[in-house]
Amino acid sequence: MRFSELIHLVWVNIMGNKTRVLLTSLGIIVGAATIVMVLAIGKGGEADVAEQYKTLNAGAIDISYERASDMTGGDSGGGMPGGAMPGGAMGGGMPGGGTMPDFAGGSFGGGSSGTSNSSALQSMMQDVMNQMRNTENITLSESDLEDLELFVPGLSAASISATTEGSVSGGILDDAADYTVAGVTADYATVSNLQVGLGDFITDEDNENANKVCVIGYSLAQEIFGSAIDAYDSTIYIEDTPFVVNGVLMEMGSVASGISPDDSIFIPLSASEKYVMGNDYSPTITVIADDVSNVDATITNIQAVLAESYPNASFTITDAGAEREAATESAGTLAFLLLAVASIVFVVGGIGIMNVLFVSVKERTQEIGILKAIGSSKRDILMEFLLEANMISLFGGIVGIIVSNLLMPIIEAMGQTVVASMEGVLIAFLFAMATGTLFGFYPAWKAASLVPIDALNEQ
């Protein structure tokens, strides 16, 4: 039997059972649509990560310190819960005079050594308390930044910044609103790859004099003033303090150093401490390593320099490259898991095809017998049923790909980034064809193995 005759015979059988073909192909449709959507969402996640970290240099390293305020008492001098140690008493639990309570008849450890042991223990506890106070009062400063620039080799840029939420009013705002306010130094723009569209960024002179000037993000300029041009050289009030807008950033659409430049206000670090944050702020130092491959060595050197200045402190040090790699791996892992789920859908669809073909073989036993009687070979019968399974899978794959493309705008409208790709279409198509071939082979082989005389006698 010629191949064209086989195709015609398969087409006649499929068109004669349209409803069955549609129902059979549902699993393939769902599987193909799922694979295309999963890969599109996965690539969208990777695009989001790239967009989020595009303003950060690969060699960027952030150094911060979180104060363990929950370990101390209510007063600023620190101390254990229950109060400080007036007169040597600890939280009111020890008698006045600064000595330890007597144990076992007025001594600790027995004999005349009780007093010296008590004094030694009390001195040790006082040292611990002093260390806790010193650790609690750590605030990274520009002098720490200078130490890192001086003693850590291989740094191309460095900056220190602090971020808070501040009440902002002015422009066309009817009421004050809270926005992200970042106190920064002049090098912050270089470290975070910020580009000023209008005006100038914060300068060293601004920081030295604690000038009340600011640079605002593109989106914020439109929100507060209506446009970037109207924002330039205007005045906004941050915590009721007037700041002149010296510059407006270009639209970034991404995140830098944990904040969104488009929606932030940047002021001199000294001015942020003086007018906005006060003394209760915890800045972050960001440095850029010249060689991305030496980031680990740079971090080790940073830790050594900080240990000299703060022997008892533990700093949080992270690098942008590792964060980006971890985020990308997370997106890839999620896409792989979803792809595994889609593969299971294909298996279910393949089982459906196999069941329908078994039923079809049963119903068409006499037809198979006639084909064999007129000279069709076992190979012809095998090819007929395999082609039928593949055409059902092909139909399901094509419809599934179309459905996925119709669903993508809906997914995007829900806030999820999707990036369509030919890779997803090709994988879905190959999965569909492989499913039809694998699950259609056994029923086709059973049909081809029928004995002609038995098939003709089948009622």
How far apart are alpha carbons 325 and 105 in whole angstroms?
A: 65
* Confidence category of residue 102, pLDDT binned at 50, 70, 90: very low
How far apart are alpha carbons 356 and 185 in whole angstroms?
A: 71
How far apart are alpha carbons 263 and 199 in whole angstroms?
A: 17
Question: How confident is the model at residue 44, as a pLDDT?
Answer: 79
What are 308-366's pLDDT values in tens digits?
Answer: 888 888 888 887 766 666 666 676 777 777 777 767 777 777 777 777 777 766 666 66
State the average pLDDT over residues 235-255: 88
Q: How far is CA 415 from CA 230, 313, 408, 448, in A?
A: 31, 41, 11, 52
Q: Give the chain's mean pLDDT.
A: 76
3 state SS of 194:
coil
> Residue 36 in contact with residue 404, Cβ under 8 Å?
yes
State the average pLDDT over residues 412-430: 82
> Residue 114 in contact with residue 106, Cβ under 8 Å?
yes
3 state SS of 215:
strand
Range picked from 49-58, 59-68, 163-172 for highest mean pLDDT: 163-172
Question: How confident is the model at residue 336, as a pLDDT?
Answer: 76
Distance in Å from the first CA to the final CA of the chain? 26
Does 297 score more than 90 pLDDT?
A: no
State the average pLDDT over residues 404-414: 86
Q: CA nearest 203: which of 152, 246, 243?
A: 246
Q: CA nearest 319: which of 83, 53, 45, 128?
A: 53
Question: How confident is the model at residue 109, as a pLDDT?
Answer: 44
> Residue 59 in contact with residue 289, Cβ under 8 Å?
yes
> Residue 61 in contact with residue 318, Cβ under 8 Å?
yes
Question: How confident is the model at residue 208, as a pLDDT?
Answer: 92
Question: How confident is the model at residue 327, as a pLDDT?
Answer: 63
